[in-house]
Structure 1
Amino acid sequence: MLKISFTIIVHFTLFFVFFIVNVITITTTTTTEFDFGSLTLSSLKLLGDAHLKNGTVSLTRDLAVPNSGAGRVLYSRPIRFRQSGSHSPTSFNTFFSFSIMKLNPSSIGGGLAFLLSPDDDSIGDAGGFLGLGGGGSFVAVEFDTRMDVEFKDINGNHVGVNLNTMVSTQVCDLGEIGIDLKSGDSVNAWIEFDGSTKGLVVWVSYSNLKPKEPILTLNLDVDQFFNDFMYVGFSGSTQGSTEVHSVEWWSFSSSFNSTASSAAPPPPVVSFMNPTANPIMPPPSLAPSASSNAQQKERKSTCHSGLCKQGLGAVAGVVAAGAFVLALFAGALIWVYSKKFKHVKKLGSLGSEIIKIPKQFSYMELKVATECFNANRIIGHGAFGTVYKGILPENGDIVAVKRCSHSSQGKNEFLSELSIIGTLRHRNLVRLQGWCHEKGEILLVYDLMPNGSLDKALFEARTPLPWPHRCKILLGVASALAYLHQECENQVIHRDIKTSNIMLDEGFNAKLGDFGLARQTEHDKSPDATVAAGTMGYLAPEYLLTGKATEKTDVFSYGAVVLEVASGRRPIEKDATGFRKAGVCSNLVEWVWSLHHEGRLLTAADQMLEGEFNEEQMRRFLLVGLACSHPDPLARPTMRSVVQMLVGEAEVPIVQRTKPSTSFTTSHSQLLLSLQDSVSDCDGIITICTSSENSFNGRDIV
């Protein structure tokens, strides 16, 4: 009897939900919103060579030999682009981040395009056609890497608007704004269309911040190119080349209410989409208009029923009555359900902390993946654990498995890392695939970074890391820190920014990792004093003295990383030629500032580069490093401004030739110098206990 009643309640509830949704549908306008943070595999349609790889969408194949192929990815549901009868067009805006990487540097050609098409089944030709066409009409914004005389291309590095033809209606040279599509760097694009003015506008930048000036503007006669329903997505192709075209982030919003589409989608906070059928937690919103869940609401502006014609009062009455009845049935449903399942097992404290993490692995899975945690599989050591290379038996994916040390401090730091990074989504943060807590073990599973850590690329590689790679890495880390400091729902202070915690993927894109020391706090809230922890040479002087970690202490650490990457020297070195006398642990910031004082700043450039760098760019990065290393935390820039400085969208603040003196007492300054000179292992983690009087005792160093 209970089972029958339960079934009847469910059926009635579904009936009323269906009824009310249909009533609301009649009275609302069409709105579509989604992004990579909330899409599932079933939300995308892959055609041709398109496939998923490492959480991004690759439009073409990863082949080291030249080939010609095409691929297309579409949002699987058609979107209303024109109202029936009136033919009024929708307004839409989209933001996406993409990269074009050459597996063979001498083999180039092809490109990708943002696409609107009424057809979701066919795909166009490879080569210079970018996979567009295929027998159907289309509107596309192309990013082309090869000059094709047949299509009247201006060069092999341009953006253009294509309307049912491969000959661009309007085109612009991306070199004019410093963008190189073939560099392998992540490129950001914003496209907006205003349905009332019929204006299409395009912006392009390396930065997450939309430029003030668009690169393309165009009036679009939508009646010629829009159908009532269209599909949106991307198309790409190779042209006898080894280019790989990847879409790393995508958000889209459309509405017939022009005010709803006036604000552009937020910048990316995630470098991956959810590949499973179970949606994961979307990234935190960056603006009131940001979309955190894929949703599609449909409304029709015209009345097709007597109920609608009786006015809004009748509609509201029906909706209110339906909602009341629905509430009664829902209450009964909840009561029956709670009676039947009153002994449901509650999650433990650990489970409540990690419920938002993508996947829970079994201990046996990870034991098999790492060959019983074989010592030969060790690829690194974190602050509180060992990192193993693993091959997941289920799908063959290669991952990094971080095994917690069994000390109480190690477990606390692991839980801190798990609870913080599980809520973060940004393309320059190491992606956490999952976790395991069995048999007294705590294990974290990350994407494996094939190019290892930045410190190894700088100091242990056979060939020097090229300057363009270094610039891209530093910009990526700055973007990640700007996200942590200013764009998260709660501010995150990393507290351990250093080159060994910056990982490099196959395209030498930076991925900031190791959040074991990180702390979350509300924005604009004064930090509490804690045990100062981190690596000497990267620690801000005020953090050593007060134990209070702020975003400006992270900025100081980032400045040390910038100087380290640009100079090829560690923040604290011994027996370094050109520093103070041998055997003394010398400070990189002091040395670079002394060169700046002498007017020889470029002398700090890494000699291993042999002059293969842009001098103006090198000077800018070194000055940014010094600005971030200012002794006064209030004088340091924010990470958002650092991103703008690095891409040339903001001026670097004037850095005085003589390093400013600190406001600390003489005893404090001597203490800081003695701390630096006492560190024998410059890469070692230190923790320093502080008191409310900001005094130290030599015994506090552990």
Structure 2
Amino acid sequence: MSTGDNNLHRIFDATVLLLFLLCVEFFIPTEQQIEFSYTNFVEGETFKANTDNQCYHPDKKICLHADAWIKNGGIDVDYKSNGWGAVTYSEPILFRNKTTNQTATFKSEFTFTILYNEELEAFGSLVFFMSGFPFQNTSGYLQMENGKNNNFIAVNLDKDSPYLDRDQIQLQLLLNSKAIAEKEIVEGDFDKNCINGRIIVEYDSINSTLSVFYNARKPASPNFFHAVDLNTILPENVTIGFVSKSKDSYDEHIIKTWDFFSTFPIIEEPFDGKIKGNTSQKVLLVAIIGAIITVFILIIGAITFFVWKLMKRKLIERREKEKREKERSEKERREKERRDRRNHDETEDRILDAEFEEEQEGAKKLSYNELQMATDNFSKDRILGVGGFGPVYSGFLKSIKKNVAIKRISDHSKQGKKEYVAEVKIISQLRHKNMVQLLGWCHENGDLHLVYELMENRSLDSFIFDHQKTLSWPFRRNITKGLASALIYLHQDWKQCVVHRDVKAGNVMLDKKFEAKLGDFGLARLSDHGGGVQTTVMAGTIEYIAPECIITGKGGKESDVYAFGIVALEIACGRKCIDHKTDANKVKLVEWVWKMYGSGSLVDVVDERILNDKDYNEREVKQLLMVGLFCAHPDLEKRPTMSHALAILNFQSSIPTLPMEMPRVGFTVSRQQSSISNTTDTTSSISTIELSNHR
């Protein structure tokens, strides 16, 4: 915070303090006052007097004497037969100021209940009193005559008269043991030998008048009203409370609530100057003093308002400054991020250009603007589907006048770029009628794009897994053979061996003539013919991954053969290789087909949608199922090559006899090497597997 702000705060604090002192001086009375209010009484707020009838407790103010006790939220002053009790406020009440000879003004209000036995006609009394402090009564009477506490005032309530109705009681006012007025009969709220009432006792020390009100009489005239100077009766410190003496065990006097207020009013001293007795001059003096005070308050108010406005303006200016600084800082941060990202993207583009330094056969580098125009700025309406690394858009590329499919690789991770490079460097060099042709690539502004020829019928899985669509047997047969031809080209006919590592129905694309074309070479790896592909992390779609890849993390051509076998079975059966919605014994496709083969019911697994085809050929379908089992053999050593598998499909080679039960293969993996042993009773055991499911 600035120095100016600190000064403003100090001015404001000083102004507030000055106003507070003025309030204390002019509006807060300086006289001593005592006030308490009890709406009910509980054990924790009262305490019993000691054996000497004395009361003191640092936290509790209500003292119970003799037989007084707490009862149902009230104080039963005398609950024993022929007993007595008293209730007092334990601290002295200052009634007369010796220095100024002022007398306190007070008001005491209490509600009560009197229980009595009407048949016995034995009634005690309940007395509110003020007498000298401390309270020294030991008998239940205030010793109205010849007693040591005969200086008191009291309000007495009793039913000691045969002429009273059930709801009537007698009210009496006493000063120093003498009644200063005749007893007054008053009516209470009567209910089953129970009278409820309320008493207000007020003393005005300025006018020296004592008033007593019973029940709802106030603000009407009081029951008792007497001019009396209590300054001549009560001492400096007084005790206030109640005392009662019962005559019968059914005679009870209960205090329900008690409020008390006492204060010394401010009295103007007489003016000793020359204007004494001159009323007009007194009024003028008071008016002048009032005007001065009013002007002073207005000045202080104006100063306070000015300081408040100044502080508010400073606060608004500081907040606006902080907002501008924050916006400028945020703008600079975004600009820096954009520059860093642009520099990073340019660097990445140069790295990728270096990767593709040698001219790729057929495919070429395209500009980002070309792709934007081809896809209507990558409109959502152009999305064909969403793969593992991002969406695929349809478009028309004017430079080559072809409909194309553009795959945007949204994942800018190391793996995403690695697959992008693999696609460009491998698939752009491959030429086969059953492979998707890569037409171009683009890496600008950090975005990676691959451009392929458009496959009008999309992917194989959208037909064989969607039972609302049909695909006839001749199409399925040709698709299977086309996929086999593509894998033969990759494994043995090209200059290097290419292991696809992600053969599945979703990556078998269909053109407008339903010719199969294998695509998505992002996970493909190269090796020399006769050598194995060594990978440290398993890749591919988990349902199509061969057992040896799961155990060792290494794969080769045999792994592609296994995946081809799974796809072949899916084509023939028209379902996914793992289907949790079917019967428990049919969830795993390979195990179910092998079981049906062993039971002689192989034809029962065929997709019902092709059974009624006019071109349906049961011999060819069975051959496809057997090739699928042969290729999906758990033991890689027992699997055929792709050229052997295609020869079997064309009935140019015979299929070896497969075991009637699906073999179980056990694997033993060491840190140095992986060995695979063929067993008949051991299942695969996996201790730790790192899976990388990219699709």
Indicate the TM-score class for this superposition, using the shorter chain for normalisation.
0.3 to 0.5
Report the TM-score when normalising by structure 2. 0.45
Q: Which has the higher contact order (CA 8 A, sep 6+)?
A: 1
Report the TM-score when normalising by structure 1. 0.45
Instruction: Give the number of the structure whose alpha-carbon radius of gyration is greater.
Output: 2
